[in-house]
Structure 1
Amino acid sequence: MVFSSVVFVLYFLPLFFTVYYLVPGKWKNTAILLGSIIFYAWGAPRFIFVILGTTAVDFFLVQYMDRQQTAGRRKLLLFLSVCINLGLLVYFKYSNFFVDNVNVALKAMGMGTIPWLKLVLPIGISFYTFESLTYVVDVYRKVHAPLKKFWDYQLYILFFPKLIAGPIVRYHDIAGQVYDRSAYSGVEYRLRGLYRFFIGLGKKVLIANVLGSYADKAFTMPVQELGTMHAWLGALAYTFEIYFDFSGYSDMAIGLALMMGFRLPENFNNPYTAFSITDFWRRWHMTLGAWMRNYLYIPLGGNRTGNKGRLYFNLWIVFLASGLWHGAAWGFIIWGAYHGLFLVLERMFLQKGLQRLKQFAAVYTFFVVLIGWVFFRLEHWGPSVAYLRRMFSFNPGLIEGEPLFWTTLFIAGFFSCFTLLPYGQSLQDKVYNNPYSMRRHYILFAVTVCLFVLSVGTLLTSSFNPFIYFRF
């Protein structure tokens, strides 16, 4: 079940919040946990037992680790927990990729291949594995004490707004909210959460889906039939699709959580207005970037290493890992290495030049990001290179696209760069951050209800409703 589905919007959502608001305060966490289990089991009934089982093992293992007095035992139990979590992720997500590549090598040597039954990837495994790792590592580092109640840990991991696609939340960021949500529990925050959900739904259904339909046609067309302009439009459509798809989902997650009194961290901050690739990664999928920084980059030495070569190597390794986290295919690894390369180049010499370019630096950044998305979308080296060749082949071809596509592409471009315009940032802050006046409530309510009606109407009449990060 995903947020942008008829089942969720018209059935699960109203039923869940009716129950949640009616039950007494002491039962609200129970309502959330049961709702989260139903939410996950609806889309992956077989794998709900995997996530329940692994969270049970983690909970008791971390409690036992925290009671140990010797550093050696604590490290051993930390290692065991990390191996269990990463082992589960590697088995389900990367074993198919590993066996496929081994079989390719065996075939090339004229040897027999390894028989293998393809594994199905559990929904959201990358996200809840990373959250499990943050919990055990932070307890080991004594950032926070281990949870005393098993069901509270289950609630943290299974909390359905963030379960499938984040944001990736460190436990200590919401620890107090598990027990006391009075700071964000008033009508004001419930309404703001509802507005945020409707805005996210509109971004996903009314923008991402329209652009995604065009991008899919461009990327699945035989490459020899693809004209230069069509190839560029396909890449541009996908560039905006993945942003409005994922940021829309994050908006919905943050809005749903706020309707329950939880304040989740932001995940996007206008990434296509970035003035460098370094700046882009401060704005894109921010919770993943924070995770990589705290649990991989800093342990590798981070910026503290005195050796510049080691610093560049650390950056590159982090982005190789980021690419591999996104998917078990060479295209994702190349995409991560590609971004890592530009980060290293910026550290070496590009950053100073970009600071002089000012607004034009945003054009450079957008161009670099757009080229990278081709590898991300096609997932393999050969098809990606063939597509890029068509983009730079200067073979105009026919430019196709219905008026809805062109209108949506303009809207996507406008709102992606909205904060670069005068008063753009202040207007965005009024919608997302600043306190609301009654006038602003009336305006937001009217606008977001229109978005909701249009989105539901589109969902009921269209069968095209993919979600890019659903498979990660």
Structure 2
Amino acid sequence: MLFNSFVFWGFFAAVLLLYRWLPHRSQNHMLLVASYIFYGYWDYRFLSLILLSTAVDYVAAKAVASSQHQGERRTWLVVSIATNLGILGFFKYWGFFTAEADALLQAMGFNSALPVLNIILPIGISFYTFQSMSYTIDVYRGQTKPAGRFLDFALYVSFFPQLVAGPIERSSRLLPQILQPRTVDRQAFHEGLYLIISGLFRKVVVADNMAPIVNSIFSRPTSELTAAEVMIGVYAFAFQIYGDFSGYSNIAKGIARWLGFDLMWNFRNPYFAISPSDFWRRWHISLSTWLRDYLYIALGGNRGGRLMTFRNLMLTMTLGGLWHGAAWNFVVWGVYHGLLLIGYRIAGLDGGDSTSTNKMSQFKRVLLIVLMFHLICFSWLLFRADSMEQITGMLATAGGGLGWTPFVTYSATMLLLFAGPLLVLDYVTERKNDLYYPIRTSGTTQIGMFAYMMLTLIIFPPPATQEFIYFQF
């Protein structure tokens, strides 16, 4: 089900109606059933993968917590990690690696007979396997206690607002909310309403109206493009992916607020970052902190000297790129971000984020923001391209004459019309350092804001409904 579909809102209305009438334990049971219906609506067969991951991690965490022998505890941890990575690896990466190995062997003159399979990628598999696996790791580290009831843990893994595209919640944060009775007061309802409306605005008005521009440019041969079209395509995709993913995260958080839950923020105005590390404190926060806590620190973090730190950064970002998809452009995208982190550290430009560097002049801050935004836009070219050949072709085209066309004029107008208000909203919340600031203003301002968002949803529907981009990960 898509958050931007009538089917979902009919489903959610039924869930909300039942939820209000049920006691706490029955609420959890109903939410678990609803979560499985939500996921099974796409393809019920893949519910077995969620159930497998849930069952293995529930048993493994119990065994880890009850065992007094370090070797046995480590064995159960390995079982959990191997199961989750095995599921993820087979469904997401088997086809990619076997195809690449087959091509390499044939290039070396061998007659390869590797089994290359066309495997359907289960929606959201990267999110729920990481969430479930982190629970066992946290129990092993003593940072959380194992769930007492299997059904409570199953709800933690499959909670439908954030099941297929995050945020990737930690057990120490979400499980206690499942175990305790929940209430929805006026403030929670108001926050949820703002998050849902603003999320739909980001997704439907901004992202889905950028999609036809992006698709038109990236579907054409690079020889037919001009430099201006390449640039406008990259800018449009920057706001498509941001509106799409932050829109999903806002809607997920808003829906959860109406159910009495408080999910983590997954975005904090990322295009106002002044450095790569600042960007990753703002973009897909649940993944960046997951990679930091379970990969970067496990590799040694910044211990062991500068070269080891650079190695750990590069490995973390490369694997983070591969997490996004089984293709070389995602690997290159991860390597690029690793190089950015290393380069800024070497240059001494990665000393803090834009909210803590109060002594920085406004002029320097703006320059760093503009520079970082364009470095990120270049990374979106690597991310969006269909192949390495398309990347090199578009880069070659971008280095040629500007070639301003009527299509560029139209696209630039659409970009200003839809992405402009989004940037204004982000600027206001950035200045106030409060993501809820728009609903702390006067009643008149709030009415105007909600009216604008609702009117744009009605007046500017996209040419076609688009799936959320991160569903493919």
Indicate whether the TM-score tops 0.5.
yes
| 3-state SS in 2 of match to 1:463 | coil
Distance 2:302 2:472 in 1: 33
Match of 2:472 in 1: 471
Indicate how the Cα distance of structure 1 residues 239 and 148 shifts in structure 2: closer, same or farther if over 3 A, else same. Answer: same
Match of 1:140 in 2: 140
Indicate how the Cα distance of structure 1 residues 308 and 365 shifts in structure 2: closer, same or farther if over 3 A, else same. Answer: same
Distance 1:429 1:358 in 2: 24
Q: 2:457 aligns with which of 455, 458, 461?
A: 455
On the 8 A contact 2:227/2:402 being kept in 1, the answer is yes
Q: 2:331 aligns with which of 330, 333, 339?
A: 333
User: 1:266-305 CA deviation, whole Å, 9 max, x = no partner?
Assistant: 0111111111112111111111111011101111111232
Give the C-alpha shift of residue 202 in structure 1. Answer: 1.2
Q: Could you list the runs of 5+ residues in structure 1 that have no partner in the other structure?
A: none
Structure 2 counterparts to residues 68-83 of structure 1, below 5 A: 68-83=67-82
Pair 1:394 & 2:396 matched: no
Match of 1:118 in 2: 118
Match of 2:356 in 1: none
On the 8 A contact 2:192/2:253 being kept in 1, the answer is yes
On the 8 A contact 2:245/2:470 being kept in 1, the answer is yes
Match of 1:102 in 2: 101
On the 8 A contact 2:207/2:243 being kept in 1, the answer is yes
Distance 1:216 1:378 in 2: 10
On the 8 A contact 1:210/1:405 being kept in 2, the answer is no
Alignment-mate amino acid for residue 299 of structure 1: A
Structure 2 counterparts to residues 222-233 of structure 1, below 5 A: 222-233=221-232
Alignment-mate amino acid for residue 125 of structure 1: I
Give the C-alpha shift of residue 400 in structure 1. Answer: 0.3
Give the C-alpha shift of residue 180 in structure 1. Answer: 2.1
Distance 2:115 2:134 in 1: 36
| 3-state SS in 1 of match to 2:320 | helix
On the 8 A contact 2:167/2:266 being kept in 1, the answer is yes
User: 1:317-352 CA deviation, whole Å, 9 max, x = no partner?
Assistant: 110011000111000010000010010011111517
Indicate how the Cα distance of structure 1 residues 259 and 206 shifts in structure 2: closer, same or farther if over 3 A, else same. Answer: same
Indicate how the Cα distance of structure 1 residues 51 and 407 shifts in structure 2: closer, same or farther if over 3 A, else same. Answer: same
Distance 2:19 2:445 in 1: 27
Match of 1:351 in 2: 349
On the 8 A contact 1:267/1:286 being kept in 2, the answer is yes
User: 1:121-156 CA deviation, whole Å, 9 max, x = no partner?
Assistant: 111000001111110000001111100100000000
Q: Percent identity?
A: 35
Structure 2 counterparts to residues 273-284 of structure 1, below 5 A: 273-284=272-283
On the 8 A contact 2:236/2:415 being kept in 1, the answer is no
Give the C-alpha shift of residue 429 in structure 1. Answer: 4.0
Give the C-alpha shift of residue 397 in structure 1. Answer: 4.8
Give the C-alpha shift of residue 197 in structure 1. Answer: 0.9
Distance 2:313 2:181 in 1: 38
Pair 1:25 & 2:27 matched: no
On the 8 A contact 2:275/2:350 being kept in 1, the answer is no
* Aligned positions, number: 463
Distance 1:37 1:43 in 2: 10
Match of 2:245 in 1: 246
| 3-state SS in 1 of match to 2:144 | coil
Match of 1:430 in 2: 437
Deviates more, 1:444-453 or 1:43-52: 444-453
Match of 2:14 in 1: 15
Deviates more, 1:117-126 or 1:170-179: 170-179
Output the TM-score relative to the length of structure 2.
0.91
Give the C-alpha shift of residue 425 in structure 1. Answer: 2.9
Distance 1:240 1:422 in 2: 18
Indicate how the Cα distance of structure 1 residues 132 and 421 shifts in structure 2: closer, same or farther if over 3 A, else same. Answer: closer
Pair 1:301 & 2:300 matched: yes
Instruction: Provide the aligned C-alpha RMSD in A.
Output: 2.4
Deviates more, 1:62-71 or 1:242-251: 62-71
Indicate how the Cα distance of structure 1 residues 113 and 386 shifts in structure 2: closer, same or farther if over 3 A, else same. Answer: farther
Q: Could you list the runs of 5+ residues in structure 2 that have no partner in the other structure?
A: 353-359
User: 1:184-229 CA deviation, whole Å, 9 max, x = no partner?
Assistant: 5213212321221111011100110011110110011111110111
Distance 2:39 2:350 in 1: 47
Indicate how the Cα distance of structure 1 residues 351 and 417 shifts in structure 2: closer, same or farther if over 3 A, else same. Answer: farther
Match of 2:173 in 1: 173
Output the TM-score relative to the length of structure 1.
0.92
